Amino acid sequence: MPTIFFYGPELDNEKKKELIKSFTETASKLTGVDKSAFVIYLRPSSTDNVGVGGELLRERSKRENR
Amino acid sequence: MPTIFFYGPELDNEKKKELIKSFTETASKLTGVDKSAFVIYLRPSSTDNVGVGGELLRERSKRENR
Amino acid sequence: MPTIFFYGPELDNEKKKELIKSFTETASKLTGVDKSAFVIYLRPSSTDNVGVGGELLRERSKRENR
Amino acid sequence: MPTIFFYGPELDNEKKKELIKSFTETASKLTGVDKSAFVIYLRPSSTDNVGVGGELLRERSKRENR
Amino acid sequence: MPTIFFYGPELDNEKKKELIKSFTETASKLTGVDKSAFVIYLRPSSTDNVGVGGELLRERSKRENR
Amino acid sequence: MPTIFFYGPELDNEKKKELIKSFTETASKLTGVDKSAFVIYLRPSSTDNVGVGGELLRERSKRENR
């Protein structure tokens, strides 16, 4: 039954697969719960829907990349 | 105030309405809280953003349907 | 894989069981996903950790019950 | 580390910035945690993925606006 | 219907009330949704259930306070 | 900014640390986001607040262990 939510940047398919595989193996080993019981939700968030330190992430990233 | 989040497949409109109606009635009866106070968020997740048993759900479903 | 979160008042054991059974049956029927794949998390919230309409729920309830 | 999730209507950019700025300042002041540690996720929800009082919000809003 | 989740340190009662009041007023003004429709869940997290930068927050805080 | 929620059984301290370290390293490598930006919330759930396959997890586990 363990359930994991990952809020972060959009990933390409290969990286999604690697993240899901690694998280599931690590968490299964540590909890003793069979891998088949794990569900992971990837919840991508665009930088104009995230605030960090009081600012829109999109504006902060733009400024830092200048 | 009770709030319900449903992470699952996308549903058509008639099914959304039935799910919302049934969940609200059941939960209102069991909690004793008036139906008007219930909010339900449907948060659809595509099969390439869900991992089950360490695999992307999309790949798992493809394989099972072969 | 569908996952449901229920944020609401604490329930006794019989009511928890009824809520879990009813939500799972309804959602399984509407999504076509087997019941065994459903996980429901009951996340009870005490009235001093919930705000409704800008007020702590505990104070609001106290006032309404006077 | 505090993290805030806002489930609500889609906002335009200026309002997002104002909401993020205000929530962060208020919460930083009250918790004593530096503003830089706050992350806010705006999770917009369309009215056909929300149920209120047992009804789809979209239908309820339509009826009320008649 | 808007719903806000606040994951952070435990607050005393006066601060909870102030946070709830301020968040609700700000968000009501920016969304145009009546204050009565807002629900805020405070979900306190102890420092031994949070990881920051790959470390348990409790250990990190201890080290920084030395 | 990435944020991870882990809903599962309670873990002892050493396992919490290992889970947090491993998730953060994996996700940092795959996203390219610095480890310092990751926050992980461990949200333990007792077996009498989880439903699996329409049943309370506590009852299901008891039966399976007979």
Q: Which two tokens stand for residue A12?
A: 């390409």
Distance (Å) from the C-alpha of residue F33 to the closest C-alpha of chain D?
Answer: 15
Chains B and F make contact, 3+ CB pairs within 8 Å: no
**What pLDDT was estimated at residue F63?**
82
Rounded mean pLDDT, F49-66 = 90
Residue of C nearest to B56 (CA): C1
Q: Which chains touch D (3 or more CB pairs under 8 A)?
A: A, B, E, F
Q: Distance between CA atoms of F11 and A28, rounded to whole angstroms?
A: 12
E2/C contact by beta carbon, under 8 A? no
C10-66 pLDDT, tens digit each = 999 999 999 999 999 999 999 999 999 999 999 999 999 999 999 999 999 888 776
Distances (CA, A) of E34 to C52, C54, C60, E24, E30: 11, 10, 17, 9, 10
CB B4 within 8 A of CB C43: no
The whole-number pLDDT of residue C1 equals 80
* Tokens representing residue A38 in the block: 């794990």
End-to-end CA distance of chain A: 45
What tokens does B8 get?
């699952």
For the cut 90, the answer to whether the pLDDT of residue F25 exceeds it is yes
In this predicted model, what pLDDT tens digit does every residue of A8-62 receive, in sequence order? 999 999 999 999 999 999 999 999 999 999 999 999 999 999 999 999 999 998 8
Q: What is the dihedral of CA E19, A6, F49, F8, to 10 degrees?
A: -120
Residue of D nearest to E53 (CA): D1
Residue located via tokens 């989740």: E5
In terms of Cβ atoms closer than 10 Å to its own Cβ (0-12, 13-18, 19+), residue B56 is buried
Which chain E residue shows the shortest CA-CA distance from D4? Answer: E6
Contact C56/E17, CB-based, under 8 Å? yes
Residue C33's region, left for phi above 0, alpha for psi from -120 to 50, else beta, is beta
User: Percentage of chain F surpassing pLDDT 90?
Assistant: 88
pLDDT digits (tens, 9 = 90+) for E13-27: 999 999 999 999 999
Give per-residue pLDDT as tens, D3-51: 999 999 999 999 999 999 999 999 999 999 999 999 999 999 999 999 9
The two tokens of residue C15 are 């009511």
**Best to test chain B binding among C11, C19, C23, C30 (most B CBs inside 10 Å):** C30
- Give the angle subtended at the CA of F12 by the CAs of A38 and C4, to the nearest 5°: 35
Q: How many Cβ atoms sit within 10 Å of the Cβ of residue B60?
A: 17
What pLDDT score does A66 carry?
65
pLDDT computed for residue D66 by the predictor: 64
Q: Is C52 helix (H, G, I), strand (E, B) or coil?
A: strand
Place B5 in a pLDDT band, splitting at 50, 70 and 90: very high
Percent of chain B with pLDDT over 70: 98
Closest-CA distance, F35 to chain A, in angstroms, reads 13
Query: Which one of D1, D4, D24 makes the best mutation probe of the F interface by having the most chain F beta carbons within 10 Å?
Result: D1
Task: Tell me what pLDDT residue C18 has.
Answer: 98
Give the residue, A63 or E9, on which the prediction is more confident. Answer: E9
Average pLDDT over residues E4-19: 98
| pLDDT average, residue stretch B28-46 | 97
Contact D23, D40 (CB under 8 A): yes
C13 touching F (Cβ < 8 Å)? yes
- Counts for chain E of helices (H) and strands (E), in that order: 2, 4
Residue B42: band (very low, low, confident or very high) from pLDDT cuts 50, 70, 90: very high
Cα(A40)–Cα(C15) distance, integer angstroms: 28
Structure tokens of E65?
């306070």
Q: Does A17 touch chain B (CB under 8 A)?
A: yes
